[in-house]
Amino acid sequence: MRRMFNIFDNNNRTDDFVTIQNAREDIIGELDAIIQYNNHLVQTNDQRAKQTILDIMREEKLHVGQLFGLLFSLDPESKEQFEKGLKEFEGLS
* Domain residue spans of the chain: 17-23+47-93
According to the model, what pLDDT value does residue 29 have? 98
According to the model, what pLDDT value does residue 93 have? 73
Q: What is the pTM of this model?
A: 0.83
CA distance 19 to 38: 28
Half-sphere exposure of residue 8, counting CA atoms within 13 Å on the CB side? 1
CA distance 43 to 91: 35
According to the model, what pLDDT value does residue 7 have? 54
Mean pLDDT by 10 residues, the chain (93 residues): 56 80 97 98 98 98 98 98 97 85
